[in-house]
C-alpha cells in the first residue's frame, strides 16, 4: 500500500525564491503543453503524443530566448508537470468514453500563478535525499529544513513540495508500506453519521460534533472584514489575505487531526466497520451545506477505509437508499415506518411497541445490513461475526427492508 507522509518545511528566503521559480517553470510547461494540444485540435491536426510534446515544450523550448530560463530548475520538475497534464487528459478521455467510474472528469485547464496551491514533484531520477542532519536535499534548491514529526517507514519513491494558501511549505513523501494487521477483535460496529452528533455507533455511543468552522466563525468573519476594507493590489491586502488563509488552515488542521484520532480509535477497537454511503455532494447543495462541509464526513470515511485496509480490518459501505432510520431494529419485527422527518429524534414502533432513538436504531440497522452483505460475499460465516440467531435476525431485517422499499 502506498501512503503519503506530510512534513512541514521551513525554507530560507533564498530557497523560497528558488521554489517560486520552480513553481513558475512547472506551471509554464503545463500551460505550454495544454496550449499546444488545443491548437492542434483546433487546426485539425493529430493528437500530439507524450514524447513529441516533451520535445516541443521542454527540450526545444530551452533553446529559445523566450524559454531559456527553464534550464534553471530541475528537468524532473518539468517532466512531472507534463506527466500531470497527460494524466489529466487520460482521465478526461476515460470519463468521456465511460471507462472511468465516478464523477465526470473535466478537460484540463490552464494553471494560474494566483492559484491558492502551488506544487512540484521530484522522483527518484531527481536524486532528492534526506541528509544526515535531517534536511531535505532538493536539486537546484538546496538543503531545506524539515520538521520531522515521525520517521518514514521506508525509502520514499517521490516527494511533492507544496505551498498552500497560507504560505506554508510542506513535503509530501510517497512511501510503499506493508500491512500491519492488528490483533483480531470480536467487536463489530455500525456507524450513523449526522449533524447533531457527528457519529452514533450501534453500541449506543454518541460522538459530539466538534463544529470547528462554527466555533471559528467570529475570528474568520473579522479577518474577512479586514480583507474587504483593503485596497485591491496593495501590500496590506496581501497581508490580510494571508491572515484569512491561515485562519481557515487552522480550522482544517484541527478537523483533520480530530478525524485521525477518532478513526484510529474505531479501527483499533473493531474488527469490522460499516457506514452508510452518504451523498455528500448532494447534501452540500442544500440549506445545510455549511454544516455538512464543516462535519467532514467524506474525509473521515476515507480515513476509516484506508486504515482498515492497512490494519487488517473489514470496512464496507451500506447502500444510501437502505431505510436505516425508518426500520425497526427489534429482532423479529422488521417494521418500516412510512415517513420519518428529521425533527423526529425518537419513535415508537407501532408493531412491537419498542421506543427507538433514531440515530442508535439507524446504526444498529447499518451493522445488521453490513453483516448480511459480508456473509453473502463470503458464502460462509465470517469470524469474528454474529451468532446464528443474529445472522437470521440480520437477514430478516435486510429482507424486510428491501421488501418495503421495492
Provide the annotated active-site residues.
192, 276, 359
| CA distance linking residue 223 with residue 242, whole number of Å | 10
* All residues at 6 or more sequence positions from 53 whose CB lies less than 8 Å from its CB, including other chains: 33, 36, 37, 82, 85, 86
Cis peptide before 2 (omega within 30 of 0): no
Q: Cα(273)–Cα(366) distance, rounded to whole angstroms?
A: 10
Sequence-distant (6+) residues with CB within 8 A of 146 are: 7, 8, 9, 10, 130, 134, 135, 136, 171
Residue among 356, 152, 181 nearest 267 (CA): 181
Rg (CA), the chain: 26
Half-sphere exposure of 365 (CA within 13 A, CB side): 33
- Cα separation, 248 vs 257, whole angstroms: 14
The DSSP result for 29-76, as a single string, is HHHHHHHHHHHHHHTTPPPPPHHHHHIIIIITGGGSGGGGGGGGS-HH
Helix (H, G, I), strand (E, B) or coil at 294: helix
Distance CA 17, CA 10 (A): 13
Report phi then psi at 257, rounded to 5: -65, -40
CA distances from 174 to 120, 177, 302 (A): 14, 9, 18
Amino acid at each position: 500500500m502506498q501512503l503519503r507522509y506530510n512534513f512541514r518545511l521551513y525554507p530560507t528566503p533564498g530557497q523560497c525564491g528558488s521554489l517560486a521559480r520552480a513553481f513558475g517553470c512547472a506551471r509554464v510547461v503545463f500551460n505550454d503543453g495544454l496550449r499546444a494540444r488545443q491548437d492542434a485540435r483546433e487546426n485539425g491536426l493529430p493528437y500530439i503524443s507524450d514524447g513529441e510534446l516533451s520535445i516541443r515544450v521542454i527540450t526545444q523550448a530551452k533553446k529559445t530566448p523566450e524559454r531559456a530560463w527553464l534550464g534553471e530548475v530541475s528537468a524532473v520538475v518539468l517532466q512531472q508537470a507534463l506527466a500531470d497534464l497527460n494524466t489529466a487528459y487520460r482521465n478526461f478521455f476515460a470519463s468521456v468514453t465511460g471507462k472511468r467510474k465516478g464523477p465526470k472528469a473535466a478537460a484540463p485547464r490552464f494553471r494560474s500563478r494566483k492559484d491558492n496551491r502551488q506544487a512540484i514533484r521530484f522522483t527518484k531520477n531527481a536524486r532528492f535525499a534526506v541528509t544526515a542532519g535531517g534536511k531535505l536535499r532538493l536539486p537546484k534548491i538546496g538543503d531545506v529544513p524539515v520538521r520531522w514529526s515521525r520517521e518514514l517507514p521506508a525509502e520514499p519513491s517521490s516527494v511533492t513540495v507544496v505551498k498552500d494558501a497560507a504560505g506554508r511549505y510542506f513535503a509530501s513523501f510517497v512511501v510503499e508500506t506493508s500491512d500491519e494487521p492488528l490483533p483480531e477483535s470480536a467487536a463489530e460496529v455500525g456507524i450513523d453519521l449526522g449533524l447533531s452528533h457527528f457519529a452514533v455507533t450501534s453500541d449506543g455511543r454518541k460522538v459530539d460534533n466538534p463544529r470547528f468552522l462554527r466555533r471559528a466563525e467570529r475570528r474568520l468573519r473579522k479577518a474577512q472584514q479586514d480583507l474587504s476594507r483593503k485596497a485591491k493590489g496593495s501590500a496590506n491586502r496581501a497581508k490580510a489575505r494571508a491572515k484569512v488563509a491561515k485562519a481557515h488552515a487552522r480550522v482544517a488542521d484541527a478537523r483533520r487531526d480530530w478525524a485521525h484520532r477518532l478513526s484510529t480509535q474505531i479501527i483499533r477497537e473493531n474488527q469490522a466497520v460499516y457506514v452508510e454511503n452518504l451523498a455528500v455532494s448532494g447534501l452540500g447543495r442544500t440549506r445545510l451545506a455549511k454544516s455538512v462541509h464543516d462535519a467532514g464526513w467524506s474525509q473521515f470515511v476515507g480515513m476509516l477505509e484506508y486504515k482498515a485496509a492497512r490494519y487488517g480490518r473489514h470496512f464496507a459501505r451500506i447502500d444510501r437508499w437502505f431505510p436505516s432510520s425508518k426500520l425497526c431494529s427489534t429482532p423479529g419485527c422488521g417494521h418500516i415506518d412510512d415517513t420519518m422527518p428529521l425533527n423526529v429524534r425518537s419513535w415508537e414502533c407501532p408493531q412491537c411497541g419498542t421506543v427507538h432513538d433514531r440515530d442508535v436504531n439507524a446504526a444498529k440497522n447499518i451493522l445488521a445490513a453490513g453483516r448480511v452483505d459480508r456473509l453473502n460475499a463470503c458464502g460462509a460465516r465470517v469470524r469474528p461475526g454474529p451468532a446464528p440467531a443474529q445472522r437470521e435476525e440480520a437477514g430478516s431485517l435486510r429482507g424486510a427492508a428491501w421488501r418495503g422499499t421495492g
